[in-house]
Amino acid sequence: MAGNGSLFDLSGRVAVVTGGNRGIGHAMALGLARAGASVAVLARNAEQNQLVLAELKAIGKPALALPLDVTDRPALAPAVAEVERTLGGIDILVNNAGIVALSGGVLNETADVWDKTIETHLNASFLLSQLVAKSMVKRKSGGKIINLASMYSIFGSGLVPSYSAAKGAIVQLTKSLAIELAPYNIQVNAIAPGWIETDMTAAVRSSPMNDEIMARTPAKRWGKSDEIIGATVFLASRGADFITGATLPVDGGYSVY
């Protein structure tokens, strides 16, 4: 039997991280590479993609960065095919790409904002999971799918209804995929970050909401993007082979209350 130290070694694995060129996705991509995986980043900004590609290559593992808007449905299958041609069959999919629009609530949010948010978070996660899972099943390789949930998967928000709805649905999608794919040795789980310091949350950190967040967070601080890496590597590894359909909060205790 292999020692425990090998449980979290991702050598020989191929991982895809959507939105992996900044924030939490960037941290996860680098963390997976440091754990031994070959990593493909799929994200919109070509310039940022090249920066993270250089970082991935410096780690010493094969890497790829492709410009991709996950709401561009016809582009999804070619992107997956390009990853598999270049790096090999995909073993780990991280559905991280996301947007948020502080619309102010249902009375103010436009249908376009609603549609774009649902398409980016929920529809893209479903479609990419479907594509990658079909490949995993065909190859009989097993695999890991990790979706990005949120505190708003649990708690509603009067300010970002589309984001809350999408993230709530991500948890249910995760459970449904986990049930269907378990017989194929594919585990599907979600990570629910708490309040993490990223460009996306910069406005919140300088708003009156910050005091409310700090009062509710037992750790009494914001999290760092790198603090999502441990959960990501764990769920992507052999150490999580008997865990599926779960949503793991990484939130400094915010969801305890």
- pLDDT tens across 24-45, in order? 999 999 999 999 999 999 999 9
Q: Is the pLDDT of residue 12 over 70?
A: yes
**Amino acid in position 81:** A
Instruction: Give the mean pLDDT of 69-81.
Output: 98
C-alpha distances (whole Å) from 103 to each of 129, 169, 208 are: 29, 19, 17
Torsion sign across C-alpha atoms 117, 97, 149, 227: negative
- The whole-number average pLDDT for the span 96-110 is 87
Q: What confidence score (pLDDT) does residue 199 get?
A: 87
DSSP H helices in the chain: 23-34, 46-59, 73-86, 111-118, 124-139, 161-181, 202-205, 209-216, 229-236
96 and 24 in contact (C-beta within 8 Å)? yes
Position 133 scores a pLDDT of: 98
Q: What is the pLDDT of residue 33?
A: 98
Judge contact between 36 and 8, C-beta under 8 A.
no
pLDDT, tens digit, for every residue of 135-158?
999 999 999 999 999 999 999 888
pLDDT at 200: 82
Mean pLDDT score of the chain: 95
163 is catalytic: yes
Rounded mean pLDDT, 8-21? 98
User: CATH assignment of 11-250, given 3.40.50.1970, 3.20.20.10, 3.40.50.720, 3.40.50.300?
Assistant: 3.40.50.720
* 257 has a pLDDT exceeding 90: no
Residue 150 one-letter amino acid: S
DSSP 196: B
User: Using 50, 70 and 90 to split pLDDT, how confident is the model at 5?
Assistant: low
Residue 194 has a pLDDT of 96
Residue range 120-132: average pLDDT? 98
The residue from 152, 163, 254, 257 that is catalytic is 163
pLDDT for residue 206:
87
* Span 10-21, average pLDDT: 98
Q: Does pLDDT of 69 surpass 70?
A: yes
The rounded distance, in Å, linking the Cα atoms of 249 and 193 is 6
What is the C-alpha separation between 52 and 74, in angstroms, rounded?
Answer: 25
Task: Choose between 95 and 257: higher pLDDT.
Answer: 95
2 vs 151, higher pLDDT: 151
pLDDT at 93: 99
Q: Once rounded to an integer, what is the mean pLDDT over residues 54-81?
A: 98
Spatial CA neighbour of 17 closest among 7, 4, 31, 3 = 31
CA distance 24 to 104: 24
What sign has the CA pseudo-torsion 24, 27, 29, 32? negative
pLDDT tier at 3, thresholds 50, 70, 90: very low
Section 91-109 average pLDDT = 90
pLDDT at 101: 80
pLDDT range class, residue 166, cuts 50, 70, 90: very high
Q: What is the pLDDT of residues 195-232, one digit of tens each?
A: 999 988 888 898 888 999 999 999 999 999 999 999 99
The single residue listed with the structure tokens 């069959």 is 89
Report whether 251 contacts 232 (CB < 8 A). no
Go through the chain and tell me how many residues it has: 257
